[in-house]
Amino acid sequence: MTSLTQKNRAVGMRAALFGLAMLGLAFASVPLYRAFCQITGFGGTTQKAEAAPGAVAGQVGVRFDANIDPRLPWKFVPEQETVRIHPGARTTIYYDATNYTARSTTGQAIFNVTPESAGKYFSKIECFCFTEQTLKPGQSVRMPVVFFVDPKLRQDPDTRSIDEITLSYTFYPVENPETPR
């Protein structure tokens, strides 16, 4: 074998390995990005918690927003548009969803918080967004969200002046539900 042929094979192998590494990175990027956002609150990603720390003095407003992807024939609305809460207090609110079709449909809610800097201080204890939701034909459900706003929101120079946080959900259809209900 000539030296040129060996060099060409080496370049080809490096290119193939680089391609495989990029493919692996593409598959790993979504879970890595999700973990990064959950740790840092980046992009308004909320935190998941087991319990609220307890209320402290002061208040912050929380506004609730509901959206539906046009491909999902549901009605989806918050039962109340805003609440004023004490940071650290465990709070429960509800969203209502109705399936307008004659067949069962499944949706998954994606959420975010604005302003984005408040995401790392907004913690959910329980949320319908943690799992897929399947509604039977014409079925209406009341879905709880149990959350708190971490009192550290008032200690962070970037968030101490925030008076209102918006929790926004968008429901998307799930074509192949994980578990039939």
User: Tens digit of pLDDT for each residue in 11-36?
Assistant: 888 888 887 777 776 666 555 555 55
pLDDT higher for 52 or 144?
144
Q: Is the per-residue pLDDT at 43 higher than 80?
A: no
User: Tens digit of pLDDT for each residue in 127-153?
Assistant: 999 999 999 999 999 999 999 999 999
* Percentages (nearest 5) of helix, strand, coil residues in the chain: 30, 40, 35
pTM: 0.72
Q: What angle do CA 47, 64, 132 make, to 5 degrees?
A: 60
Q: How many CB atoms lie within 10 A of CB 144?
A: 14
The tally of CA atoms less than 13 A away on the side-chain side of residue 107 is: 27
